[in-house]
């Protein structure tokens, strides 16, 4: 949530299928001033419990969030400053 108290919601719908092997990954970034409280909610279907990963971000940071799983029940958050995954230079 931005320091202004606004709530920004973005729905990310990832494809899946019997060949999908990895957990979902979400990339979040912000340029607004002040720290942000981020909550990423993973949900496969209405009858499946939500899996929530929460963390804080500062302006100019980019976070890579990996869905919780049996082997990693808390999920993973990796934060980089002024960097996007897959880009160099």
**Burial level of 50, CB count in 10 A (0-12/13-18/19+)?**
exposed
- Report pLDDT for 55: 92
- Report pLDDT for 89: 46
- In the predicted model, residues of the chain with pLDDT beneath 70 are 1-4, 12-23, 83-89
Four-point Cα dihedral 9, 11, 32, 88, nearest 10:
170
* Contact between residue 40 and residue 10 where contact means Cβ atoms under 8 Å apart: no
Tokens 């496969």 belong to which residue? Answer: 44
Q: Where are the domains of the chain?
A: 25-71
Query: How many whole angstroms separate alpha carbon 30 and alpha carbon 51?
Result: 23
């Amino acid at each position: 949530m931005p320091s202004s108290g606004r709530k920004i919601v973005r729905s990310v719908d990832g494809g899946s299928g019997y060949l999908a092997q990895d957990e979902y990954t979400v990339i979040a970034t912000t340029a607004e001033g002040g720290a942000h409280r981020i909550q990423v909610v993973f949900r496969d279907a209405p009858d499946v419990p939500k899996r929530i990963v929460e963390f804080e971000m500062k302006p100019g940071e980019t976070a890579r969030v990996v869905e919780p799983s049996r082997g990693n029940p808390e999920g993973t958050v990796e934060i980089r400053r002024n960097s996007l995954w897959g880009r160099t230079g």
